[in-house]
């Protein structure tokens, strides 16, 4: 049997907090079995062919489901698959990783453990609370906050170190009163950090005698280190903290924008409005062309995927509409010879007018349905324009539930606006360029903001402003 199971800690929420080893495993796994604490956008790192199986716990049905998960792990390994069992935080911190490892061992299935950053520490860190601090706390104790036997409280209430409770939200009041009953001061500071390390993180501060509860998942931190938050708080000061921003590009295109939003403290909601369907076409003989003009990243990637040998390009001059298209071309070690200052199609045409000779032949890779201005205008300069239709865009299935907490939406193209559900035009619309902005206005968006520079960077700058 060559199959193997990796029990992988995915970290607490911020997807960049997975370890390098964990991410490498996720990227190469054939099967991914994941919990409810795992974010969808982490799964985007899996290979396209990977089978993704949700194994979240249903309330009240714990033991049965755990049995099923155990069996599934063994079954997939016996099919000679590389299985990544992805768990929130660390697999051995209240993650039932131990039970799964024991079951694999009993069934002679090879396994590895890839530790993760537990929410117990990371949640505190993102709230600006160090779990230990010289002169304040010499230890920290991670405790199951659910159904804790009385004798634990007797001991915990005497410990001077920091207490961190997991799975303890519904029991918060009881935990605080048990600790006070056994002698802990009612003035002891308490922090409750929910959805820690993600854009929805919220922190409530109080004392054992008055702290309020919050949504789950949350960690509860008890001890004087909580006071350090006043000076060390950092994550909640980020420019996009508290914002829920919808990203609408095709699924595999969203990583960069989502990462930027999350690195700046926002919650990025992936809601693809376009799906790229590559068409089965062959590249023509490229040596017969003088110009190759790209108008989208999709066109660039699909074109170069088909190109067998870079020398087939001959002496063709490569052009780009837009900064991101140009950047994408550079990945293939080709410097586009012209990128307009103003990243819209009209500007490209203007710039090319005195460069293209009437006898030049132009190849234009594109999508099936796109604005016709480029071919039309190019045809006015040279009659020898060939369109190479490489892909079709279709509307994916929507889960509108995802939009319920959103405040803003980013649009990178007019077609993304067109495909976005009409009834959500009360969101603030951030558009990559003026044509997209016009489409948003036409769709009834009241607040439409256009990036100063027509790129992701330009869009991010507008998001920071308001």
Q: Taking the complex as a whole, how short is the minimal distance between the CB of residue 88 and ligand SAH, in angstroms? A: 5
Say whether the peptide bond before residue 217 is cis (omega within 30 degrees of 0).
yes
Per the CB < 8 A criterion, the answer to whether 153 and 181 are in contact is yes
How far is Cα 63 from Cα 60, in angstroms, rounded to an integer?
9
197 vs 345, beta carbon nearer ligand SAH: 197
Determine the residue with CB nearest ligand SAH: 89
- How many other C-beta atoms can be found within 10 angstroms of the C-beta atom of residue 221? 25
Q: Which residue has the tokens 């205008």?
A: 377
Our CB check for ligand SAH shows the closer of 115 and 434 to be: 115
32/167 with CB nearer ligand SAH = 167
Q: Which is nearer to ligand SAH, 115 or 351 (CB)?
A: 115
Please identify, using beta-carbon distances, which residue of 19 and 75 lies nearer to ligand SAH.
19
Q: Which of 4, 52, 57, 441 is catalytic?
A: 57
In the complex, what is the shortest distance from the CB of residue 18 to ligand SAH, in angstroms, rounded to a whole number? 12
Helix axes 345-353, 373-381, angle to 10 degrees: 10
DSSP-assigned letter for residue 305:
H
Q: How far apart are CB 124 and ligand SAH at their closest, in Å?
A: 10
DSSP symbols for 18-60: S-HHHHHHHHH-SEEEE-TTS-HHHHTTS-TT-EEEE-PPPTT
Nearer to ligand SAH, 15 or 166 (CB): 166
Judge contact between 109 and 115, C-beta under 8 A: no
Active-site residue (options: 35, 90, 323, 360):
35
**Alpha helices in 79-158, H assignment, sequence order:** 97-106, 119-126, 150-156
- Closest CB 39 distance from ligand SAH, rounded Å: 9
* Under 8 Å between Cβ of 118 and 89: yes
Q: Which is nearer to ligand SAH, 94 or 420 (CB)?
A: 94
Distance CA 10, CA 22 (A): 7
Mark residue 136 as left, alpha or beta (left: phi above 0; alpha: psi -120 to 50; beta: remaining). Answer: alpha
| First-to-last C-alpha distance (Å) of the chain | 56
Q: Mark residue 352 as left, alpha or beta (left: phi above 0; alpha: psi -120 to 50; beta: remaining).
A: alpha
List contacts with ligand SAH (CB under 6 A).
12-13, 37, 87-90, 93-95, 118-120, 123, 166-167, 193-197, 216-219
**Is residue 387 within 8 Å of residue 366, measured between CB atoms?**
yes
Q: Tell me which DSSP letter residue 161 carries.
A: S
Shortest CB 126 distance to ligand SAH, Å = 9
Query: Got the DSSP string for 289-339?
Result: -SEEEE-SHHHHHHHHHH-S-GGGGTTPEEEESSHHHHHHHHTTT---SB-
Q: How far is the CB of 200 from ligand SAH (least distance, A)?
A: 9
Task: Assess whether 57 carries a catalytic annotation.
Answer: yes
In the complex, minimum distance from the CB of residue 164 to ligand SAH, in angstroms, rounded to a whole number: 9
Please state the closest distance from residue 194 (CB atom) to ligand SAH, in A.
6
Indicate if 446 belongs to the active site. Answer: no
Residues 90 and 117: beta-carbon distance below 8 Å: yes
Spot the catalytic one: 167, 180, 258, 460: 167
Is residue 460 annotated as a catalytic residue, yes or no?
A: no
- H or E element that contains 112: strand 111-114
**For ligand SAH, the closer CB: 3 or 88:** 88
C-alpha 188/C-alpha 330 separation (Å) is 57
**Active site members:** 35, 57, 167
């Amino acid at each position: 049997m060559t199959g193997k199971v990796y029990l992988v800690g995915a970290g607490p929420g911020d997807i960049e907090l997975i370890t390098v080893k964990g991410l490498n495993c996720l990227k190469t796994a054939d099967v991914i079995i994941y919990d409810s604490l795992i974010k969808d956008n982490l799964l985007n790192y899996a290979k396209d062919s990977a089978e993704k199986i949700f194994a979240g716990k249903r309330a009240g049905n714990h033991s049965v489901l755990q049995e099923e998960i155990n069996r599934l792990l063994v079954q997939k390994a016996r099919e000679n698959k590389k299985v990544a069992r992805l768990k929130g935080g660390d697999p051995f911190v209240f993650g039932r990783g131990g039970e799964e490892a024991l079951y694999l061992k009993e069934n002679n299935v090879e396994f590895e453990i890839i530790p993760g950053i537990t929410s117990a520490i990371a949640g505190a860190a993102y709230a600006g609370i160090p779990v230990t601090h010289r002169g304040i706390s010499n230890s920290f104790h991670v405790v199951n906050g659910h159904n804790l036997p009385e004798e634990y409280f007797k001991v915990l209430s005497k410990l001077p170190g920091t207490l961190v409770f997991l799975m303890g939200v519904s029991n918060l009041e009881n935990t605080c009163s048990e600790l006070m009953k056994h002698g802990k001061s009612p003035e002891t500071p308490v922090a409750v950090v929910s959805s820690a390390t993600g854009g929805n993180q919220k922190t409530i501060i109080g004392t054992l005698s008055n702290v309020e509860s919050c949504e789950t998942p949350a960690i509860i931190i008890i001890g004087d280190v909580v006071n350090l938050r006043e000076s060390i708080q950092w994550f909640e000061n980020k420019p996009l903290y508290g914002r829920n921003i919808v990203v609408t590009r095709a699924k595999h295109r969203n990583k960069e924008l989502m990462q930027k939003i999350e690195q700046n403290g926002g919650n990025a909601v992936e809601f693809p409005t376009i799906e790229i369907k590559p068409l089965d076409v062959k590249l023509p003989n490229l040596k017969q062309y003088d110009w190759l003009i790209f108008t989208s990243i999709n066109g660039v990637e699909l074109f170069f995927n088909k190109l067998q040998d870079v020398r087939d390009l001959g002496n063709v001059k490569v052009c780009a509409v837009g900064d991101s298209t140009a950047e994408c071309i550079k990945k293939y070690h080709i410097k586009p010879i012209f990128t307009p200052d103003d990243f819209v199609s009209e500007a490209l045409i203007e710039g090319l007018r005195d460069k293209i000779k009437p006898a030049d032949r132009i190849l234009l890779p594109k999508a099936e349905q796109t604005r016709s201005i480029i071919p039309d205008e190019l045809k006015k300069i040279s009659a020898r324009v060939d369109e190479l239709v490489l892909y079709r865009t279709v509307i994916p299935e929507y889960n509108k539930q995802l939009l319920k907490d959103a405040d803003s939406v980013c649009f990178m193209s007019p077609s993304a606006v067109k495909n976005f559900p009409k009834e959500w035009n009360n969101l603030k619309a951030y558009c990559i360029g003026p044509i997209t902005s016009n489409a948003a206005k036409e769709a009834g968006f009241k607040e439409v903001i256009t990036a100063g520079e027509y790129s992701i960077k330009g869009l991010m700058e507008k998001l920071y402003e308001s």
